[in-house]
Amino acid sequence: MDINESIKSQLQENPIILYMKGTPQAPQCGFSAKTVQALMGCGERFAYVNILDNQELREALKVYSNWPTYPQLYINGELVGGCDIVLEMSESGELSEMVKAASASQEEAGN
């Protein structure tokens, strides 16, 4: 599978997915740690990909998203943004609304 097809597949299969450095239990950078905390505060499950494990994915995703930095949060296949945007959305309550809606739509689809 081509790397772009792999990215598209991950985005289709996971309504909430975070491309980050490390894992939610052991983030490898402060920005990823803050983003994970904001997401966990929403109380819904989310998928993640440790981009440090895959150099090809790390470079391809920057091109795919046209976003040069990590972490990158996607909800329903759309790039939400990186750490600063996620934290702003968390403070305003918008992140929780988006995450809960994406999670609810996944449950309705029977996934």
Q: Which residues are annotated as a binding site for [2Fe-2S] cluster?
A: 29
What are the phi and psi torsion angles at 21 (to 5°)?
-95, 110
How many Cβ atoms sit within 10 Å of the Cβ of residue 84?
12
What are the pLDDT digits (tens) for 29-59? 999 999 999 999 999 999 999 999 999 999 9
CATH topology for 3-101 is: Glutaredoxin (3.40.30)
What are the pLDDT digits (tens) for 59-89? 999 999 999 999 999 999 999 999 999 999 9
Domain boundaries, the chain: 3-101
Q: Which residues are annotated as a binding site?
A: 29
CA angle 101, 104, 108 (to 5 degrees): 135
